[in-house]
Chains A and B, each alone.
Chain A
Amino acid sequence: MILEDVRYYQPETIREAVDAYREAAAEGLSVHYMGGGTEITTHARDGKLAPGALIDIKRIPEANGISRGSGVIRFGAAVTLTRIADSGDVPLLSATARRIADRTTRNSITLGGNIAGMLPYREAVLAFLIYGGTFEVTGPEGTRTAAARELFDRRVRLEDGEFIVALSIPESASTAPWYYTRRERDGRVDYPLVTFAAGLVRDAVAFAVAGAFLAPIAFSVPAAGVTRDVVVNELKALGLKYRTDMRGSAEYRRALTERACRDALDALGKGAQ
């Protein structure tokens, strides 16, 4: 048993989930919503997490499925990364999901769990940051929609008792030009040194980076006249510190990231300017 005395809820509606939260929180339990549970179980085993109650959101219909409508593609937060990788609805999102962990683990990891997780990578958020995606969150105060770049500021900024129900991306993202690269130290199945994504979004080039810093970040520059120096200067202006860990130094991560800035512009047809 890796979790002591944890209370486990399996709500079938959003309402039941929020009621479960209210009930458990009122008893003073430390409450966590749960997607695939892969991080919750590993962190509990390591002693990094000791939840008093888990609210599994996988049976909630609104948190499941991939659908199109009103000009957006909507991904339920409980959809697994394998399903997203195989779906191809948004090529950049599928390419990113396909390189997170390994296929068997992706059969369990959920989109919402990846983005709300505690590890610094959270790679699945990159496409939502690039394409101006939105989060649908719900909680005791009701449901709200927020722009990905506002709600995800280094981490998902949720109010007490809120969870992510779904994320959406404008349908135009399914055909928009994109660039993606991921560099690891020890071959494919490993956390990234740097995951770098870029896309042309209207009159701007949008960039998003994971692995290089303590959290995923995003920024955009006007497409007209963009050069590698413009992009690198914009990145420097964010004042972020590159990470050093056993996989690579800050200097190596910086070199990989700046190299990717140039490769992204080349791939998006902006390199010659």
Chain B
Amino acid sequence: MTRLHVNGEEREVVVRTGDTLARTLRDTLGLIGTKIGCENGDCGACTVLVEGIPIKSCIVLTLDIADRLITTIEGLTDTPLQRAFVEEYGFQCGFCTAGQILNATELLGRSPKPTDDEIREQMESNLCRCTGYEGIERAVKRAAGIELPLQKGSHT
């Protein structure tokens, strides 16, 4: 048995040496908020935090991070960033959203008022097939308390 520290809880699980963290989270622990898209490190849908740092859980072995603190989307509850994603329509189908939010959570922890360049560098790790990214960027800025330009079609 391997002990994993996930979302503030200790979980004893059977992990095979070849299991990736994404598979363990979803298939063994039932934490299906973590999505698997490309399973190749390209899309960011599987992003989780390990000791607060975002990583792509489809390209890391579970045993590699067994003694570290893991946070999945289930470990975040009604944070300002999550609310901002709702308020700014930062998602449509929602498939990429867990990864986007976890990645942006680390950015805001490290840089509470990120520059446009910092937001771009951070968020280019995550692909979204639906939104065109504008709502995602606005959500990150809203959560950071950065003034948002009016959107096209807005009324004053």
Chain A interface residues toward B at CB < 8 A: 1-8, 10, 36-38, 41-42, 44-45, 54, 56, 58, 98, 101-105, 107-108, 188-189
Check B60–A41 contact: CB distance below 8 A: yes
- Interchain CA distance A36-B103 in the complex, whole Å: 18
Contacts A38-B41, A104-B103, A108-B55 hold; do A4 and B124 have CB atoms under 8 A apart? no
Segment from B13-21, B72-80, B90-98 that makes contact with A: B13-21
Chain B interface residues toward A at CB < 8 A: 16-20, 23, 39-41, 44, 47, 53-56, 58-61, 63-64, 103, 121-122, 124-126
| Chain B residue at smallest Cβ distance from A188 | B124
Instruction: Find chain B residues with CB under 8 A from A7 CB.
Output: 17
Check A41–B125 contact: CB distance below 8 A: no
Check B18–A42 contact: CB distance below 8 A: no
Check A107–B54 contact: CB distance below 8 A: yes
- Interchain CA distance A68-B47 in the complex, whole Å: 34
- Interchain CA distance A54-B62 in the complex, whole Å: 13
Q: List 10 A-B contacts (CB under 8 A).
A: A8-B17, A37-B59, A41-B20, A42-B59, A98-B121, A102-B44, A102-B124, A103-B122, A105-B41, A108-B56
Question: In the assembled complex, how far is the CB of residue B58 from the closest CB belonging to chain A, in whole angstroms?
Answer: 8
- Interchain CA distance A144-B47 in the complex, whole Å: 38
| Chain B residue at smallest Cβ distance from A39 | B59
- Interchain CA distance A57-B63 in the complex, whole Å: 13
Check A8–B63 contact: CB distance below 8 A: yes
Partner of A104, one of B23, B39, B44, B61: B44
**Given A2-B20, A54-B17, 12 additional A-B pairs, CB 8 A:** A2-B18, A2-B23, A6-B18, A8-B17, A37-B61, A37-B64, A41-B20, A42-B40, A45-B40, A101-B41, A103-B121, A103-B125
- Main SS class of interface, B: mixed
Contacts A1-B23, A104-B125, A107-B53 hold; do A38 and B16 have CB atoms under 8 A apart? no
- Interchain CA distance A56-B60 in the complex, whole Å: 12
Check B40–A105 contact: CB distance below 8 A: no
Check B124–A1 contact: CB distance below 8 A: no
- Interchain CA distance A103-B61 in the complex, whole Å: 19
Check B55–A104 contact: CB distance below 8 A: yes
For the complex of A and B, the 10 pairs showing the least CB-CB separation, nearest first, are A3-B18, A104-B125, A102-B125, A38-B59, A1-B18, A8-B17, A41-B59, A104-B54, A6-B17, A189-B124
Question: In the assembled complex, how far is the CB of residue B79 from the closest CB belonging to chain A, in whole angstroms?
Answer: 19
Check B61–A45 contact: CB distance below 8 A: no
Instruction: Find chain B residues with CB under 8 A from A42 CB.
Output: 40-41, 59
- Interchain CA distance A45-B40 in the complex, whole Å: 8
- Interchain CA distance A6-B23 in the complex, whole Å: 16
Instruction: Find chain A residues with CB under 8 A from B56 CB.
Output: 38, 104-105, 108
Check B125–A56 contact: CB distance below 8 A: no
Check B41–A44 contact: CB distance below 8 A: no
- Interchain CA distance A37-B55 in the complex, whole Å: 12
Instruction: Find chain B residues with CB under 8 A from A58 CB.
Output: 64
| Chain B residue at smallest Cβ distance from A3 | B18
Check B18–A44 contact: CB distance below 8 A: yes
- Interchain CA distance A107-B56 in the complex, whole Å: 9
Check A8–B61 contact: CB distance below 8 A: yes
Instruction: Find chain A residues with CB under 8 A from B125 CB.
Output: 102-105, 189
Instruction: Find chain B residues with CB under 8 A from A41 CB.
Output: 20, 58-61
Instruction: Find chain B residues with CB under 8 A from A4 CB.
Output: 18
Question: In the assembled complex, how far is the CB of residue B103 from the closest CB belonging to chain A, in whole angstroms?
Answer: 6
- Interchain CA distance A103-B53 in the complex, whole Å: 10
- Interchain CA distance A5-B16 in the complex, whole Å: 8
Instruction: Find chain A residues with CB under 8 A from B121 CB.
Output: 98, 103
Contacts A6-B18, A42-B40, A44-B18 hold; do A108 and B60 have CB atoms under 8 A apart? yes
Partner of B17, one of A3, A103, A108, A188: A3
Instruction: Find chain B residues with CB under 8 A from A107 CB.
Output: 53-55
- Interchain CA distance A104-B64 in the complex, whole Å: 17
Check A5–B18 contact: CB distance below 8 A: yes
